[in-house]
A and B are shown apart, each in its own frame.
Chain A
Amino acid sequence: MTKKNPLSFQLNVDDFLPATDAEKQSLTQMRPGVSYWKDAMRRLWKNKVAMVSLGVILIIMVFSFIVPMFYPYRYEQQIRGSEYLRPMTYSAEEQARIDAGEKVFPHILGTDYLGRDYAVRVMVGSRISLLVGLIASAIILIIGSTYGAISGFFGGWVDLVMMRIVDIIYTVPDILLIVLISVSIRDPMEKLATLPAFQWVQTVGVNLISIFIVFALLYWVGMARIVRGQVLTLKQNEYVTAAKALGASNGRIIRKHLLTNCIGTLIVTTTLQIPSSIFTESFLSFLGLGVAIPLPSLGSLASAALNGLNSYPYLLLSPALLISLIILSFNLFGDGLRDAFDPKLKQ
């Protein structure tokens, strides 16, 4: 082969041969693609604070949902003679039974003024708080995301009217209405519970349901605003136009394309909603408007402990600490989720 003139435009024929298998192999991806979910999960897994919070939440869930089933005392069980026991102490009667060789399960956190074991009450109380947090957030998720998606998707005057309604609810001082609503719907709910078809109302508890209604009425507006903002940008995408061109109905586009694409935001907002729901429930229980006696909630336990603060301060400590721990863990876990799903938002 003669030496090629450096100024020649003649092409090298070898460059145009089909690629060999080895060459093809080297051009394929070095590792499998990372999906949005896997990427987010990996970031979450690396976040120590979030994982510890998740661990704490799971431990608290085990203690509040599973342990009371096996616990030797029940939350409404009054043990006569054991009123106001200090933690890990026994009443005279129980001491006698221990002396006789019987095994008596210790009152780890003592007992309250009716001789009820405090440890199991705190556990059941945190069960109520967790349930309220989870169910209320689910209600808020459903109402808020539907409302926000519809408002953002249709735009125009629909959006205008729907968002003015949101503005109005948003500016209403919430505590005023919460207190009023929870007091006023109690009676209609109790009447409803006497009807045969609505027996379940009685089992769930009238107060608990009225708390859910309060949340359903007032707190979805934040979620609706966030979802609307997301939908406004998402609906400009080509795949929405494509779906429309293929004849998809509006409902299908909202369900299958828009809401699924803002799922990260939905998860994060819902998780951060849980602590604020728990917060509000404990606030209401503390004012005496929460769950019904004898069912405990962490707020009502703390409220009851306040009356005997001088003599029995330990009754205040466990519910107060636990509620703070629950809210703290959910907040930190929610922050971790936000960092994982939406790194842009990280501050």
Chain B
Amino acid sequence: MAVYIVKRILLAALTIFLVATITFFLMNLVPGGPFVAEKSISEQAQAALKEKFGLDKPLIVQYKNYMLSALQGDFGLSLKQRGRTVTDIILSKFPVSARVGGIAVLTALVVGIPLGSVAALKRGTWIDNLIIVIATCGIAFPSFVICTVGMYVFGVYLGWLPTLGLTTPTHYILPVFALAFYPTAYITRLMRSSMLDVIGQDYMRTARAKGLSQFVSLFKHALRNAILPVVTYIGPLLAYALTGSFIVEKIFVIPGLGKEFVSSIANRDYTVIMGTTIFLATLVILMNVLVDIVYKIIDPRIQLK
């Protein structure tokens, strides 16, 4: 177990390092620079700014400097938002994304697991068919379609829900709905197939035969086994909720990390691009590692490699 965990964490560290390296050189390939767009700044001032941020040095030296300070937890100052550190920007934007994403993940789990179980238990009936149709649509509709259509129907046409910003609790409904739609559908499908698999197992018949009630056999035996594939999906799901929110944040004008990332690319705000990429990549990769480890703990049948 310990060997496995160490191996996974080392691989994760290597991955994060590679992501950081790739991002660094990719973003420097992008034409233009952080100070080009600002017409008010003279050539000398631009040069002075470049010198101040160390952008006048050769790329490889910049890379070395950045990586060394990043290792010490210093992600530098934003090139565009004067006087703000990258850490400060990430810490102020991330809670917004995390809240929307977290609620969406919870919604997906709370709705998807019962829906999938019901579909499996009522196999072949109209309830099952209805749930399958909804789940198939949920997987096929891109998030921007859900966002825009939902925004039009509930925000513009019916006028029930606010469409822009994130100030009151009702503001959360549409973004969370849009973000949770795909994972809910996916979890429903996953849950349905694993539940079907579990209720055909011998131990389910044994449980019923030894006189356990339907309720106990379903909740203590079937659900606990059927939920395992869903647990493995939580890692990718969290990654999706955090990075998949780019579109949702753009459409609903939510001041989150995804929007910050996209605009930092447009602004060539190098330090913010790097900081956000490393932060999100670390988060996603660590979540995946954590979920895999938890999965091996809760399912003793899985052998450690």
Known contacts A175-B243, A176-B261: does B156 contact A310 (CB below 8 Å)? yes
**Residues on the A chain within 8 Å of B148, using CB:** 302, 305-306, 309, 316, 320
- Residues of B131-179 at the interface with A, using a CB-CB cut-off of 8 Å, are 136-137, 139-145, 148-149, 151-152, 156-157
Residue pair B26, A283 in contact (C-beta under 8 Å): no
Known contacts A187-B29, A279-B142: does B284 contact A173 (CB below 8 Å)? yes
Q: How far is the CB of A68 from chain B (nearest CB, A)?
A: 23
Whether a CB of chain B sits under 8 angstroms from the CB of A167 is: yes
Kindly supply a per-residue 1/0 record for chain B positions 257-278, scoring 1 wherever the CB is within 8 Å of any chain A CB and 0 otherwise: 0000110010000000100010
Residue pair B265, A180 in contact (C-beta under 8 Å): yes
Task: For the A-B complex with A168-B15, A332-B136 known, give 8 more contacts whose Cβ atoms are closer than 8 Å.
Answer: A184-B30, A279-B142, A299-B144, A306-B148, A313-B152, A320-B148, A327-B141, A331-B140
- Residues of A151-181 at the interface with B, using a CB-CB cut-off of 8 Å, are 164, 167-168, 171-177, 179-181
Whether a CB of chain B sits under 8 angstroms from the CB of A142 is: no
CB closest residue in chain A, given B277: A176
Known contacts A306-B148, A316-B149, A324-B142: does B244 contact A175 (CB below 8 Å)? yes
Residue pair A282, B29 in contact (C-beta under 8 Å): no
**Residues on the B chain within 8 Å of A310, using CB:** 156
Residue pair A173, B246 in contact (C-beta under 8 Å): no
Q: How far is the CB of A308 from chain B (nearest CB, A)?
A: 11
Residue pair A328, B140 in contact (C-beta under 8 Å): yes
A275 to B182, CA, bound (A): 14
Which of these, B29, B141, B261, contacts A324 with CB under 8 Å? B141
Residue pair B26, A173 in contact (C-beta under 8 Å): no
Residue pair B196, A303 in contact (C-beta under 8 Å): no
Known contacts A168-B14, A187-B30, A309-B151: does B142 contact A179 (CB below 8 Å)? no
Whether a CB of chain B sits under 8 angstroms from the CB of A96 is: no
Residue pair A175, B11 in contact (C-beta under 8 Å): no
**Residues on the A chain within 8 Å of B151, using CB:** 309
Residue pair A171, B285 in contact (C-beta under 8 Å): yes
Whether a CB of chain B sits under 8 angstroms from the CB of A206 is: no
Whether a CB of chain A sits under 8 angstroms from the CB of B85 is: no
Identify 28 residue pairs between A and B in the complex whose beta-carbon atoms are under 8 Å apart, listed by A's number: A167-B11, A168-B14, A168-B15, A168-B18, A172-B15, A172-B19, A172-B281, A173-B19, A173-B239, A176-B23, A177-B22, A180-B27, A180-B277, A181-B26, A186-B31, A275-B140, A279-B142, A286-B144, A287-B250, A306-B251, A316-B149, A316-B152, A320-B144, A323-B142, A324-B137, A324-B140, A332-B136, A347-B193
A218 to B36, CA, bound (A): 31
Residue pair A313, B156 in contact (C-beta under 8 Å): yes
Whether a CB of chain A sits under 8 angstroms from the CB of B55 is: no
**Residues on the A chain within 8 Å of B11, using CB:** 164, 167-168
Known contacts A168-B14, A176-B281: does B136 contact A183 (CB below 8 Å)? no
Query: What is the number of residues of chain A that contact chain B, defined by CB distance less than 8 Å?
Result: 42
Known contacts A168-B18, A184-B26: does B31 contact A173 (CB below 8 Å)? no
Residue pair B136, A328 in contact (C-beta under 8 Å): yes
A179 to B265, CA, bound (A): 9
Query: What is the number of residues of chain B that contact chain A, defined by CB distance less than 8 Å?
Result: 48
Whether a CB of chain B sits under 8 angstroms from the CB of A185 is: yes
Q: How far is the CB of B37 from chain A (nearest CB, A)?
A: 15
Residue pair B144, A303 in contact (C-beta under 8 Å): yes
CB closest residue in chain B, given A188: B29
Which of these, B15, B140, B196, B197, contacts A327 with CB under 8 Å? B140
Residue pair A323, B145 in contact (C-beta under 8 Å): yes
**Which 6 A-B residue pairings sit nearest by Cβ, starting from the closest?**
A328-B140, A347-B193, A184-B29, A187-B31, A175-B243, A320-B145
Residue pair B281, A173 in contact (C-beta under 8 Å): yes
Q: How far is the CB of A171 from chain B (nearest CB, A)?
A: 5
Whether a CB of chain A sits under 8 angstroms from the CB of B234 is: no
Between B23, B145, B265, the greatest number of chain A beta carbons within 10 A of the residue's beta carbon is seen for B145
Between B142, B148, B151, B262, the greatest number of chain A beta carbons within 10 A of the residue's beta carbon is seen for B142
Residue pair A171, B142 in contact (C-beta under 8 Å): no
**Residues on the A chain within 8 Å of B193, using CB:** 347
Residue pair B144, A283 in contact (C-beta under 8 Å): yes
Residue pair A331, B142 in contact (C-beta under 8 Å): no
**Residues on the A chain within 8 Å of B157, using CB:** 313
Q: How far is the CB of A284 from chain B (nearest CB, A)?
A: 10
**Residues on the A chain within 8 Å of B207, using CB:** none
CB closest residue in chain A, given B151: A309
**Residues on the B chain within 8 Å of A187, using CB:** 29-31
Between A184, A275, A303, A316, the greatest number of chain B beta carbons within 10 A of the residue's beta carbon is seen for A184
Residue pair A184, B262 in contact (C-beta under 8 Å): no
Whether a CB of chain A sits under 8 angstroms from the CB of B188 is: no
- Residues of A325-339 at the interface with B, using a CB-CB cut-off of 8 Å, are 327-328, 331-332
Q: How far is the CB of A211 from chain B (nearest CB, A)?
A: 15
Q: How far is the CB of A279 from chain B (nearest CB, A)?
A: 6
**Residues on the A chain within 8 Å of B22, using CB:** 177, 180
Whether a CB of chain A sits under 8 angstroms from the CB of B96 is: no
Q: How far is the CB of A194 from chain B (nearest CB, A)?
A: 14
A303 to B251, CA, bound (A): 9
A347 to B14, CA, bound (A): 37
Kindly supply a per-residue 1/0 record for chain B positions 22-66, scoring 1 wherever the CB is within 8 Å of any chain A CB and 0 otherwise: 110011011100000000000000000000000000000000000
CB closest residue in chain B, given A326: B140
Whether a CB of chain A sits under 8 angstroms from the CB of B117 is: no
